[in-house]
Structure 1
Amino acid sequence: MPLTDQMNRKAQTKSLNNYEPFQHAESLNIDVHWEELPHNIHGLWTGTAIIIDPRCNTVQTRCTLAHEIVHAELDQPLLHKHYAARIEARCDRIAATRLIDHDEYQCVLKAYPNNLPYIANELGATQRILHVFAQHHSRESKKMPTPTTNAILAWTLISEIQHPADLPQILTTNEHPIVSFKTFRDSATFTNKRLIVRDAQGLTGKKVEMYSLPYSSIHMWSSENSASSLDRDEELELWTKMGHIKIRIRKGLDVRKIDRLISENVLK
């Protein structure tokens, strides 16, 4: 794989969640190489290095590397297929707990019950890793909740960023951006008229779906915060003409600032 492609792949895997498998491998002095592997094999721990198939997409790369890192940490020889299956299952469990944030999983699960493909995409994990995570952490029930067709929208604000470069193209007359945030799948911008959420679709993210929520459609809202915004994630809930929307706000961001922004524009 060309060096520029490797750098792009590393940058993409870092942006999906707090756990950074490439950084973890580097901290363990494990070399990562790119080489086409036999069918259905995405990665391999050779005993001295990890090989990743360059045909893997970003999510597969991230999950495969996390899995192979556990193999490297355990460094157990596969002496019999019975033990091999147990080791593979153990590697999956450890990788899943590193790749998926439990609180984020619960938040997305509530918004999209049993929608496995969407939840996996939102969390930056393969469906296999998500299934392993759900089994490991769901002790009261061995399966996810019953599907529902009326799922609410849920977004997570991760950190404040510069306004997207192409944002002016969609702003109306006398509309201007106030603040923008990084989300798991792209960005969210609060303007003086509405909330605009960009939702990258597919594996490449080239297709972008836009959500536009005018402040005039908000009937009621509530905000939850801890004694210190650094303690834990916070939550903002909106009741709109179309239904209930949850906005999760990562620790370090000021939920009161966003609450005040909504108040100033809804109560005009």
Structure 2
Amino acid sequence: MSTTNKQDLYRLIEEAGVPVYCQDPGNNLLALYTGEAVLVKPGLTQRDELSALAHEYKHVLDGQPHLPRYLAPKVELACDVFAAELLIDTDELFRLARMYPDEPGRIAYELGVTDWLLNAWMRAHPISIDSEDLVA
């Protein structure tokens, strides 16, 4: 698991001058950067909250408020990949992939991220089945 935790992300977002509020962003979103604040849905699991905060942090860094994924797929994918790279420890990912080769949900859970972010990492970093990283 990455050493980045949710307290780090709250601090980084707030250091960028953006307040974070525990408030439902609506539209079945986990979190949302409005351009003025980040809204985080109350009651999220640890990994949902961490993954959503990392994704929204990229929006904050880019000064890009939320747009629906279908209107800005490249922006949303870039935020997903950024969040995945921030949160996923590559060595741990490969260790878990050797242990659970057919269980991506288990790997995401063990890494402390959502399945969505693990999928984003895998799309951005395709690996061969015979990659040396996967060989024990």
User: TM-score, structure 2 length as denominator?
Assistant: 0.81
Aligned partners of 2:67, 2:47: CA distance in 1, in Å? Answer: 30
The yes-or-no answer on 1:18 pairing with 2:10 is no
The yes-or-no answer on 1:121 pairing with 2:109 is yes
1:118-157 equivalent positions in 2, closer than 5 A: 118-140=106-128
Letter of the 2:72 counterpart: A
Instruction: Describe the shift of the 1:54–1:120 C-alpha distance in structure 2 as closer, same or farther (beyond 3 A).
Output: same
For structure 2, which runs of at least 5 residues remain unmatched after alignment? 130-135
Higher-strand-fraction structure: 1
Q: CA deviation at 1:26?
A: 3.5
Work out which structure has the larger RCO, using CA pairs closer than 8 Å and 6 or more positions apart in sequence: 2
For structure 1, which runs of at least 5 residues remain unmatched after alignment? 1-15, 142-245, 247-268
Instruction: Describe the shift of the 1:76–1:98 C-alpha distance in structure 2 as closer, same or farther (beyond 3 A).
Output: same
Q: Which has the larger radius of gyration?
A: 1
Q: CA deviation at 1:77?
A: 5.5
SS in 2 for 1:33: strand
Aligned partners of 2:66, 2:44: CA distance in 1, in Å? Answer: 24
Q: CA deviation at 1:27?
A: 3.4
User: TM-score, structure 1 length as denominator?
Assistant: 0.43
Who is 1:63 aligned against?
51
Residue by residue over 1:159-185, the C-alpha shift from the partner in whole angstroms, topping out at 9 and shown as x without a partner, is xxxxxxxxxxxxxxxxxxxxxxxxxxx
SS in 2 for 1:86: helix
Aligned partners of 1:37, 1:77: CA distance in 2, in Å? Answer: 13
Who is 1:34 aligned against?
22
Aligned partners of 1:26, 1:139: CA distance in 2, in Å? Answer: 36
SS in 1 for 2:39: strand
Instruction: Describe the shift of the 1:91–1:34 C-alpha distance in structure 2 as closer, same or farther (beyond 3 A).
Output: same
Who is 1:225 aligned against?
none
Counterpart among 21, 25, 31 of residue 43 in structure 1: 31
Aligned partners of 2:51, 2:124: CA distance in 1, in Å? Answer: 16
Contact 1:36 1:55 in 2 (8 A): no
SS in 2 for 1:55: coil
Higher-helix-fraction structure: 2
Aligned partners of 1:103, 1:135: CA distance in 2, in Å? Answer: 17
Contact 1:43 1:64 in 2 (8 A): yes
Aligned partners of 1:48, 1:83: CA distance in 2, in Å? Answer: 20
Letter of the 1:18 counterpart: T
1:57-96 equivalent positions in 2, closer than 5 A: 57-76=45-64, 83-96=71-84
Contact 2:59 2:66 in 1 (8 A): no
Instruction: Describe the shift of the 1:106–1:100 C-alpha distance in structure 2 as closer, same or farther (beyond 3 A).
Output: same
